Amino acid sequence: GDSVTQMEGPVTLSEEAFLTINCTYTATGYPSLFWYVQYPGEGLQLLLKATKADDKGSNKGFEATYRKETTSFHLEKGSVQVSDSAVYFCALQYYGNNRLAFGKGNQVVVIP
C-alpha cells in the first residue's frame, strides 16, 4: 500500500545550522505531499505542501521539492532557530481521497 518513510531517529543541531529531514514515499499514483509540524503540546499544523512533480512547497524558511524520479520530498531549512524545535511529519494524500498517510515523524531539537 501507499506509505511514507522518514529517516530514523531525532535530529539535534545548533541554532543557525542547516536542517535536512529525508522523506521518501511509495505510491501507485500521483499523490499530493505534505509536511506537518507538531510543536510541544500541540496538534499537527500544515507546514507546506506540493501537489505535483517538481513543485516546491515553502513556508517559514522551510522548503521541500516533489521529486517524482526519486519519490522523495525532503524538508530543508537554511538556518534553524530554537523555535523550530518540534516534530516534523511527512505525509501523502490522494486527489479526492480524505486519507493522509503519515511517516513516523522526526523530533528536531535546536540548541542555542
Binding residues for another protein, rule: CB under 8 A, are 4, 32, 36, 41-46, 49, 51, 89, 93, 95-105
CB within 8 Å of 44: residues ≥ 6 apart = 36, 37, 38, 89
SS3 44: strand
Q: Residue 45 or residue 81: which is nearer to another protein going by CB? A: 45
Q: Residue 57 or residue 74: which is nearer to another protein going by CB? A: 57
Q: Residue 17 or residue 101: which is nearer to another protein going by CB? A: 101
Contact assessment for residue 51 and residue 72, using Cβ atoms and an 8 Å cutoff? no
The β-bridge partners of 5 are 24
CB of 18 to another protein, least distance (A): 26
Distance of CA 92 to the CA centre of its chain: 10
CB of 44 to another protein, least distance (A): 4
Q: Residue 17 or residue 55: which is nearer to another protein going by CB? A: 55
Residue 41 carries which DSSP code? T
CB of 93 to another protein, least distance (A): 7
